[in-house]
Amino acid sequence: MCGIVGFTNKIADADNVIEAMMDRIRHRGPDASGKYVDDSVALGHRRLSIIDVSSQGDQPIYNEDKSIVLVFNGEIYNYRDIRAELIKAGHSFTTNTDSEVLVHGYEQYGTKLLGKLRGMFSFVIWDSNKKQLFGARDYFGIKPMYYAVMGETFMFGSEIKSFLEHPDFKKELNESVLETYLTFQYSPTKETFFRNVYKLMPAHYFIYKDGQLDIKRYWDITFEADSKPELKDWVNSISETFKNSVQAHKIADVEVGSFLSSGVDSSYVAAVADVDKTFTVGFGSDEKYNEISFAKEFSKAIGKENYSKVITPEEYWSSLEMIQYHMDEPLADPSAVALFFVCNIASQRLKVALSGEGADEIFGGYNVYSDPGGTFYDRLPKAFRRGVGKLAAKLPAKRGVNFFVRKGRTVEERFIGNAYMFTPQERKKLLKITTDAPDPTRITRHYYKRVSKLDDVTKMQYLDLHLWMAGDILLKADKMSMANSLEVRVPFLDREVMKLAQRIPVKYRVTHKKKTEQTKYITKYAMRLAAKKDTPQQTGKTAEKKKLGFPVPIRVWLKQDKYYAIVKDAFESESAVKFFDTQMLVKLLEDHREGRADNSRKIWTVFTFLIWYRVYFEHNGEFAKRS
């Protein structure tokens, strides 16, 4: 795992600038560094040695005549097969690293190379013959890639903070993304919080040549349910395919461990992977927020050693600036901090850890996926439900009323993902600034359009696979692991696993049970059965356990004097006054403290932005140098 940076070279001190950019992301690769600078481009690389740990694997990596130059972040799990194919075609290799297959693969296949890769990656190749840059990001967006065009300079990197070192970089807040973030809790589009800085979206590649940037999509998920196989056949297929993926993801010349919460996803990974060490974090002693006892029991049952840490409130709150520095953009997911700490304890003992991200999106695991078709009311005429919903929307919001409002709307109207913080109306009232931020449904519309003929559960999964997973789940996984110089691999997010999962009928993803049974529905149904089959008998209840995933007691802390005061100070700060109606902010906080409403997620969304803004605009992105 590594970090990459680069730019088209129009400056006199390119060598020093690329060094400074590399230093900004040293945490991504502390083992080695390398650069390439000519009159056209400057490329930089920081290396965390995983495969071919000798200096042979250092980057940049070249072809035989050094006309092709590569900087690469990620892992290619099927590189040995591709390597054999390329050697047969006449290519000569000088290293045993997976990186070199990208160089010769580009020579042999051009952009079609991307269709052959199994792995997680973001990379850029400089083709000195064609005078062009070719860059790509993996299918799911596991590894990040940012880019910007500033003046005559095109720059790219694994992290936006590296751009701060370039003399052509102009740092400005993208206020329209702030408004969008208030609804999603992350930035869901290609735009970032820095004006004119963009994400290369998952499954896209770019070619930059003669000052022109061309971006294309090279892969998409295609849900096509196959009703022929029986449930047991799907279970067996999931078992076989997932085991294969886990083995592929264990390819390394260093030890591999595994994260472990109490949920089925991480437990399934840990049991199948047969790693030596598992890692868990929790808060206090309340089982709602602490899964350590379960993790230790599970690890003992599978014959592995568990390392754990109880995160104190003081540790959590004192880490927030550092967390947002590493995140590059504000992310209001409280579990990001817990993820940082589990990465930290893992990094003290190894360089690679497996994790369970992606299972919910691929196999249908979120509770919200049970909503479509889950009640008798869903079978009533759509027009009737819509009329009742409109009437209910005029009443004060509460649980029973919200049900009728929700059921009166289409999935396209009501679902934007797993987080919905401020409505467009609420955020307009809260913000002092005026922006051109789109309505949330405008952002989700083109994703829904691609799956317009499919069922509602599949629509929701497709949306989450493209927005929530890439913008929240995978962002925090990459940034928190790399902050600790740890590589996190996600075997559920594998092309072969996805190829299987997209064929599973909805009834085997989310199943609604009979009225007489206590549990009304089961999510990830077929996958849970596969996990139960492949998990030791004494731990079989894991497959049925409700997902927690390192939960954080934010709502509790915000009612305590110490942390209430910290947030209130932020809500009344000069930065808050620039953007928000601070009286409304304080009222959100007061109502939460007094128990009139659970505003914890909304409060955290605004508070997180203010912390991030402090780091990048008040401290000029200098947190790492101050800490």
Using the structure block, give the residue that is written with the tokens 């990465």. Answer: 343
pTM of the complete model: 0.93
Strand-pair partners of 120: 75
Rounded-to-integer distance, Cα 152 and Cα 163, Å = 14
Rounded-to-integer distance, Cα 102 and Cα 123, Å = 9
User: pLDDT tens, 451-470?
Assistant: 999 999 999 999 999 999 99
More confident residue, 175 or 372: 175
Measured between alpha carbons, how far is residue 405 from residues 392, 398, 520 in Å?
6, 10, 21
CA 307, distance to chain mean position in Å, is 24
Whether the predicted pLDDT of 253 surpasses 90: no
User: pLDDT tens, 465-524?
Assistant: 999 999 999 999 999 999 999 999 999 999 999 999 999 999 999 987 655 455 577 999
Of 152-166, 326-340, 382-396, the range with the lowest mean pLDDT is 382-396
Angle between helices 231-249 and 264-273 (to 10 degrees): 60
Measured between alpha carbons, how far is residue 15 from residues 22, 36, 68 in Å?
11, 9, 19
CB-CB contact of 561 with 575 (8 Å): no
- Find all residues with CB under 8 Å of 354, minimum gap 6, and list them: 246, 249, 250, 256, 257, 258, 259, 269, 270, 273, 275, 488, 489, 490, 491
CB-CB contact of 488 with 478 (8 Å): yes
Rounded-to-integer distance, Cα 501 and Cα 535, Å = 20
CB-CB contact of 613 with 189 (8 Å): no
Percentage of residues in the chain with pLDDT exceeding 90?
A: 77
10 Å Cβ neighbour count for 481? 28
Dihedral of the alpha carbons of 542, 544, 549, 550, in degrees to the nearest 10: -60
Work out the average pLDDT over 403-430.
92
Work out the average pLDDT over 307-336.
96
Residue 625: which pLDDT band, with cuts at 50, 70 and 90? Answer: very low
Residue 624: which pLDDT band, with cuts at 50, 70 and 90? Answer: very low
Measured between alpha carbons, how far is residue 69 from residues 52, 351, 394, 482 in Å?
19, 26, 61, 24
Whether the predicted pLDDT of 578 surpasses 50: yes
Sign of the torsion angle spanned by Cα atoms 249, 329, 448, 156:
negative
Q: Which residues are catalytic?
A: 2
In eight-state DSSP terms, residue 9 is: -
Q: Strands across the sheet with 32-37, in order?
A: 32-37, 41-47, 2-8, 153-157, 146-150, 197-199
Domains and CATH numbers, the chain: 2-217 (3.60.20.10), 231-364+467-535 (3.40.50.620), 554-626 (no CATH)
pLDDT of 398:
72
In eight-state DSSP terms, residue 438 is: P
Asked if omega into 424 is within 30° of 0 (cis), the reply is no
Rounded-to-integer distance, Cα 466 and Cα 459, Å = 11
10 Å Cβ neighbour count for 129? 8
pLDDT of 287:
55
Dihedral of the alpha carbons of 66, 71, 77, 78, in degrees to the nearest 10: -30
Whether the predicted pLDDT of 571 surpasses 90: yes
Give the tokens for residue 567.
């947030």
Q: What's the CA angle centered on 325, arms 309 and 620, to 5 degrees? A: 150
Rounded-to-integer distance, Cα 423 and Cα 443, Å = 14
CA count, 13 A, side-chain hemisphere, 4? 33
3-state secondary structure 103-149: HHHHHHHHHHHHHHCCEEEEEEEEECCCCEEEEEECCCCCCCCEEEE
Rounded-to-integer distance, Cα 235 and Cα 275, Å = 23
